[in-house]
Structure 1
């Protein structure tokens, strides 16, 4: 039986090729994902570890301590503490590190890197200013000295073309700083390797820019020769005053950084593997379809084996042995292709401006094992049911009939099971949609899986009425159209398996498009309804702005109202709450808030509160509460009104005149601006010019705000389209496979049609129309399910996003259906050509 299985594989190489390709693509996706994420993770971990080579123990401020109802302060890392750590027994040296956001403009005035990875820090030259910073070896020039100099990393210098002596424009919290490049340094910082930038100032300048109150963010201590990191940490713990400081060994920091990198890769890995799973799931239909047709075509052969003594188990094992060989070949080829995909994805990141630290391609043993197991197991499982079905055919019945038709009882059982699964799935999706975001996701997810499986089981039943609806169009093609319709419903199970592969891909694509389009509309509604302001000004990384920015904007010609949004923590009722300071005289002209209770009055001791915060504290208009500010003082505030919060404005709003008196270093998260003429290119240019065309500051109108928030969804959707294309490619292979085997199976019929007068063009048209009908059938099911899932997920999201409304992308859905039709036409090219070139006399004599 084993030799028979191997001979069958060799005898049907062309028929099994599509199955090999389907499995190979799925395995390639799995192995490529694992190779890519492992390679990136390993490169970042090694690069990050280099950044801690100079650190044996790091000293950082502890968490902010609360003292009763007063807001405590974080302990400061002062120069005195720095000197003290350097003298601890076992310490060789200590340096103070300062860091923060620093936006660098390139030669075209654009921000270098993205907002979250454009950082600044200090070059530690020692207490006397003559030393060298072990963290950042200089490759050109000299260390920065004074407030007018800066050093930049070598990768940023290469990307921008800046060199020693050039003048660059930089911003830390708003005002533009013209600085001279004093030197270029190298660094193993993973953020820089990934496309970010790092600018270094001398310590005094860095402290003035990032810490006006003085001090350091971290003190890095190097151990003396022969002293371990653990020993040094113990000595520092004993020497540091109080319990307000945290000490961490360099090894622990490196390990934590490695864990963060691995954790960051987990999300990407999981997402990619989900789509690899989808591709494999679609491939299961092709594999099952292929082996079902192979078994049907070899019914007499299998019956003869049964007649000469082969048992049912042996017949099943024979089919599974074929699947094992096919799966093993596909898995090996897929693994090799996946390694190439992993390397290609890494190179592709560079073309999109996403640099990756240098490092070898990582192909771990777990990747090899996982790829081989996935390919083999998926193929064998998909072939098990056809093999079991073949073994059940009685030898006598099989010898007398090439095709064993499904019994009425089996169809009734199938349809009953399918209806039950679909019903339970619909109930789960609807039930999940009516619950909250947290509790509704599990039942909705389970319901969606059951519904897809149920529709797949019911597809043979659904194929007849839906395909019959296309009869009027098919009649336009005469005999070829009539034959195509009859052929597409002749074997409903085969048609169902072929259409289902395309259905799954289009279900996901349509559902994601509906959700993304609806979220875009929700964001547009939010920006339109919540803001009266024409512009919102903020830092590129959403860091804080200098209060000087609002003052400059208020003085711009044409500005009629402006207000900062200034956040500050406060102790209220024993809990820490966030206060938002606004200009009480201007906020009503800049924000459009819906009030449930009271009035929109923000002045003096009067505040307005969003409904969720008011509910949690049992407040209403007229309620009073005590707020403990960060300077330790308390004040009684009165709730003037309760408004409906949104994603842009929420929390406790009070006048900046009231809040600022309790802040040592006030800073704004953003500034809202209204102009006399409304948003225009001229108004925006005036605002940007007043800020010195600052690379680190964004001046956005309502449309810009909406697009900025929606950009994440758009990017994600485009990535998902690319990933789901894999599932569609596998589905195309399934259509090609089905048609090719269908043409082989109907060789006598095609030969007879040719003999009675149907020409080659008519044969081609018949096969193409059959493929078109099957593809469009799968497309209609997929788009219908996608819209349903998109609506259900929208109901779930709508509970937390009030501006959410369902948007059906009719234009895109028409495109998706047209693409399904194109898939059908392209998939039929080779089978149609093969059918048309068939020798009619040889075909009529074929068995």
Structure 2
């Protein structure tokens, strides 16, 4: 039986090629994902480990947790702590580290490093061992800065050039005094690093006389553990904590691995979808192969082969196919992993250099996926073939499904579908994240149910296309009959496309609905013409509000100044605003009281008011970071949203309690409303700072929606793999169907059907099957998009379903194009059949 199985594989090489390709694509996706994530994860880990070469023990401030009426704070690392650390037993030297956000602009004024990876720090003394200089000398004073070599190379800077930089708002224009190299993982990942002398860095980052960290290096012969023990003895343990350099490197490596796991899981989900779709194709292929070999298998049974041997022979074929697909998929996946890294570098998302990582786990996973998926998909056709009695199989080429099996299948499909719909509908009534898991379960049940029911659904849906097919004459009539002749095969072929379009449609509906909800939210919550913020989300300097207020054409400004407080024993973040103008800057629905901010009067969003049992007129006491109590009165309760929520009080009341007031955003009202001229004026008033964003309501909405658009485009790209696999499935089914119907096609040619009509018949059959899958996929996608929207609606009051009909039409057209393209080769093959040879074939 083993030799027989191998001969069958070799005899049906052409038929199995599409199956190998389908499995290979799925395996390539899985192995490519593993290679890519392992490669960049190891590169980041190696880079981060190098960054701790100069650190034997790091001294950091121990955060003091909030308790009672005391707001949690982090104590300062003073010069005295630095001096004590340097004198500890076993310490060779101690470096005070200061860091913060520092944006560097290129020569065209554009931000380098993407904002989120723009860092600044201090250069220690005349020679800092952490940052070897390649040219120039150490920065001194507020008018000098050193920049990393990668940034200098990318922007074309050299020693002596003037560079535009920003820390928290105001633009600085120091001279580049030096260029240095660094093993900082942040820089290796495409970020930028600017260094000032220690006094300047402390002043710029608001840390006069203090440090963020103290890095201590051990004397020769002193271990990190021994140095840590000495520092623990010398330093006050209530306010500081010590960590060895090895522990820091290990923790950072673990964080990187943890961060990469999310990306890996996301990519593997799409790989799983491609494999799931490929499973239909494999099962379909083996079902057709077994059906075409019914007489052969019956003869084997007649000469003594057992049912197990017949099933085993089919599984051996599947094993060979899976092994070939697994090996080729692994090789292709290695190429995909290398290509993804190159693509990230090409898009500006630089990753650290390092070798391509092909772990034993990746090899095992690729081969296991290829073999197991193929054998699993082939098991049911093999088992079904073994059950056919030899006499019945020899008398008929095609074993038809019994009425009992059809009734059982439809009953199971109906039960799965009903359960899926019920669970999804139940999930829509739950609150936010509580409904995510049930909705995912319901979606899986419904997709499985619809898949089981597709043979039943195929007849009425394909029959609905009959009027259109009649226009193509005999070819159209034959195409419709061929489409419903074997409903199971049609269903399996259409289901592959259905799953891909279900996910694409669902994501599109959600993205369109979210975009409209965000537009409505921005329009309804904010009346200001502009919102000003840092590009990386950090706090703005309080000077920004003052500069904007003094700009031409500005009639009013209000900061949104966040601060932690303790209220009723709980930590609450409050927002300081310009109480005299915040009412005209926002358009918030008031549910209770009068919207009035000033003095001790505050306004509170409805969720916060409910949690504290407040209403208009309620009194409470807030404790701030300086430890002082501030009595406040609730003037109004407003309806909060994702853009504006929480407790708003006058910044004149809040700022005296803050050591360094800083604003998350500044709202701006101009005399003539939002316009290009007004926006240019505001940007110039801020020194054309590349690190600051000046956004009107449309810009704000678009910047939030860009995240969804990026995710949607990634989903489209990843799901394209599933669609490609589905195309292969249609081609495979049609090609094998043409082979199976060779005698029939020969007869049709003999009685007058010309080659063009044969081609048209196959193309129309492919088109009908693809459109059938497209209609099911779009219908399910809209339903899932609506259900997910109902879940989101509990957190976003402006959310409502938006069905992008133009996109839906485009997806249906895509399904039609898939059908037309998939039929090209099978149609050509059918038209070129020799009619006499075809008539004599069995």
Instruction: Report if aligned partners of 2:545, 2:666 keep a CA contact under 8 Å in 1.
Output: yes
Deviates more, 1:544-553 or 1:3-12: 544-553
Mapped to 1, the partners of 2:174 and 2:3 lie a distance apart of: 78
Mapped to 1, the partners of 2:115 and 2:668 lie a distance apart of: 22
* CA displacement, residues 112-146 of structure 1 (integer Å, 9 cap, x when unaligned): 11121111100111xxxx3x111111111111111
* CA displacement, residues 683-721 of structure 1 (integer Å, 9 cap, x when unaligned): 000000111101111100001111111111110110010
- RMSD, matched Cα: 0.9
Instruction: Report if aligned partners of 2:66, 2:571 keep a CA contact under 8 Å in 1.
Output: no
Instruction: Report if aligned partners of 2:67, 2:569 keep a CA contact under 8 Å in 1.
Output: no
* CA displacement, residues 218-253 of structure 1 (integer Å, 9 cap, x when unaligned): 000011111111111111111112411111110110
The Cα of 1:303 is off from its aligned counterpart by 0.3
Name the structure 2 match of 1:830: 825
Q: Does 1:383 pair with 2:378?
A: yes
Name the structure 1 match of 2:750: 755
Name the structure 2 match of 1:102: 102
Mapped to 1, the partners of 2:428 and 2:184 lie a distance apart of: 45
Deviates more, 1:607-616 or 1:276-285: 607-616
Mapped to 2, the partners of 1:208 and 1:815 lie a distance apart of: 57
* CA displacement, residues 792-813 of structure 1 (integer Å, 9 cap, x when unaligned): 0101111111111111011111
Mapped to 1, the partners of 2:72 and 2:799 lie a distance apart of: 40
Name the structure 2 match of 1:172: 167
Name the structure 1 match of 2:294: 299
Any stretches of 5+ residues in structure 2 without a counterpart? none
One of 782, 788, 791 as aligned partner of 1:796: 791
One of 661, 671, 676 as aligned partner of 2:671: 676
Deviates more, 1:196-205 or 1:432-441: 432-441
Name the structure 2 match of 1:87: 87
Instruction: Report if aligned partners of 2:298, 2:391 keep a CA contact under 8 Å in 1.
Output: yes
Mapped to 1, the partners of 2:129 and 2:47 lie a distance apart of: 16
- TM-score, structure 2 normalization: 0.99
Instruction: Spell out the pairing of 1:604-753 with structure 2 (5 A cutoff).
Output: 604-753=599-748
Name the structure 1 match of 2:240: 245
Q: Does 1:193 pair with 2:157?
A: no
Name the structure 1 match of 2:490: 495
Paired residues, number: 842
Name the structure 2 match of 1:208: 203
Mapped to 2, the partners of 1:838 and 1:585 lie a distance apart of: 85
Mapped to 2, the partners of 1:62 and 1:704 lie a distance apart of: 40
SS at match of 2:96: strand
The Cα of 1:72 is off from its aligned counterpart by 5.2
Name the structure 2 match of 1:21: 21
* CA displacement, residues 706-753 of structure 1 (integer Å, 9 cap, x when unaligned): 111111111011001000000000000000000000000000110011
Mapped to 1, the partners of 2:185 and 2:344 lie a distance apart of: 15
Instruction: Report if aligned partners of 1:561, 1:589 keep a CA contact under 8 Å in 2.
Output: no
The Cα of 1:73 is off from its aligned counterpart by 3.8
Instruction: Report if aligned partners of 2:27, 2:330 keep a CA contact under 8 Å in 1.
Output: yes
Instruction: Report if aligned partners of 1:424, 1:450 keep a CA contact under 8 Å in 2.
Output: yes
Deviates more, 1:182-191 or 1:742-751: 182-191
Instruction: Spell out the pairing of 1:302-313 with structure 2 (5 A cutoff).
Output: 302-313=297-308
Name the structure 2 match of 1:434: 429
Mapped to 2, the partners of 1:319 and 1:66 lie a distance apart of: 67
Instruction: Report if aligned partners of 2:412, 2:449 keep a CA contact under 8 Å in 1.
Output: yes
CA spacing shift, 1:768–1:95, aligned 2, 3 Å: same
CA spacing shift, 1:233–1:257, aligned 2, 3 Å: same
SS at match of 1:182: strand
Name the structure 1 match of 2:816: 821
Instruction: Report if aligned partners of 1:763, 1:835 keep a CA contact under 8 Å in 2.
Output: yes
Mapped to 1, the partners of 2:836 and 2:790 lie a distance apart of: 61
The Cα of 1:90 is off from its aligned counterpart by 1.0
Name the structure 1 match of 2:35: 35
Q: Does 1:76 pair with 2:76?
A: yes
Mapped to 1, the partners of 2:64 and 2:570 lie a distance apart of: 13
The Cα of 1:74 is off from its aligned counterpart by 2.1
Mapped to 2, the partners of 1:696 and 1:348 lie a distance apart of: 26
SS at match of 1:115: coil
Name the structure 2 match of 1:561: 556
Mapped to 2, the partners of 1:148 and 1:380 lie a distance apart of: 70
Instruction: Spell out the pairing of 1:265-284 with structure 2 (5 A cutoff).
Output: 265-284=260-279
Instruction: Report if aligned partners of 2:424, 2:442 keep a CA contact under 8 Å in 1.
Output: yes
Instruction: Report if aligned partners of 1:567, 1:668 keep a CA contact under 8 Å in 2.
Output: yes
- TM-score, structure 1 normalization: 0.99
Mapped to 2, the partners of 1:425 and 1:71 lie a distance apart of: 48
Name the structure 2 match of 1:776: 771
* CA displacement, residues 490-512 of structure 1 (integer Å, 9 cap, x when unaligned): 00000000000000000000001
Instruction: Report if aligned partners of 1:59, 1:248 keep a CA contact under 8 Å in 2.
Output: yes
